[in-house]
Amino acid sequence: MTTLTHDQPLSRRVLDFPLVTMIAAGALVLGTTAGLGFVVARLLEKLGMAQGAAGTIIGVVLHVLVLFGLYKLVIRNLGARKHDDLPLAGALRDLGLGGAGAFALMTLIVGLAAVLGVYRIEGWGGMQSWLWLLFIAGINAAFFEELLFRGVLFRWLEEFAGSWAALLVSSAMFGALHIGNPGASWFSSFAIAMEAGILLGGAYMLTRSLWAPIGIHFGWNVTQGLVWDVPVSGIDVDGLVNARLGGNPIISGEPFGLEASIIALVVATTFGIWLVKLAMDRGEVMKPWWSRA
């Protein structure tokens, strides 16, 4: 691990400054995503696969592989404090634990909603949304958003302003990202910032790896949509069962879904705070850059 020192050239110190590194890394991720999306869309269109399941799967797999390669070859080597947030060792374990934890958490939320009378199953669903849920809302959203929000934004904000500022800002921005979704409101964005922002940020702080947050993100979206037929961040889906939300919007989260309910806000935020507490106990809280200096 290297640190900023005054005997380095000024240009190097500027490039290694956390906020400068964060902007550079974010631009690389966003630029690569935009460029790759354009190229893949044109290629699939020429092959006549733009509208099919195969085209969606190929596009998502290529996106994830290219971003993984970009991270390994470039992003992890940026800045003064080198660190690999996508280590191969323990990747499957952390992905599995994150996914299983999210399944249990979302199933508990759905169960409480059923007990309170705002969620009920009316029969079997057609699972017509499986492709979108598994690959777009699942694999693609989990990898891309965690790489950007935890692997870039949280990482270098933490290096500059400390863990608490990084958790606050990354959570707020993650919630704001969803304000344009169907049925969204300022409360739904606040709820996502609290329940998902703290949960995913806490998992990153605890493990110092992106695999657990990726697993949680994937498991959260797939469980609520594909298994329990709950709208995913306001987007209506067709899952394994045919379910309906109703009743008081504060409890049901309608029309956005259970993510905007008081149930998810309390349950997921509590679990996220527990992860942050575990990270604190392990000494995984970073002081601001000026305090360390």
Name the pLDDT band for 51 (thresholds 50, 70, 90). Answer: confident
Q: Is the pLDDT of residue 293 over 80?
A: no
Predicted confidence at residue 220, as pLDDT, reads 98
Q: Is the pLDDT of residue 207 over 70?
A: yes
Q: Is the pLDDT of residue 290 over 50?
A: yes
Q: Is the pLDDT of residue 241 over 80?
A: yes
Name the pLDDT band for 43 (thresholds 50, 70, 90). Answer: confident
Predicted confidence at residue 284, as pLDDT, reads 95
Predicted confidence at residue 277, as pLDDT, reads 98
What average pLDDT score do residues 195-203 get?
97
**Average predicted confidence (pLDDT) for the chain:** 93
Name the pLDDT band for 2 (thresholds 50, 70, 90). Answer: very low
Q: Is the pLDDT of residue 27 over 70?
A: yes
Q: Is the pLDDT of residue 81 over 70?
A: yes
42 vs 119: CA distance, rounded Å: 42
Q: Is the pLDDT of residue 6 over 90?
A: no
Compute the CA torsion angle 21, 24, 25, 26 (nearest 10 deg). 120
* pTM exceeds 0.85, yes or no: yes
Predicted confidence at residue 3, as pLDDT, reads 52
Query: Minimum mean pLDDT among 21-30, 58-67, 75-84, 273-282: which range?
Result: 75-84
Predicted confidence at residue 1, as pLDDT, reads 44
Predicted confidence at residue 122, as pLDDT, reads 95
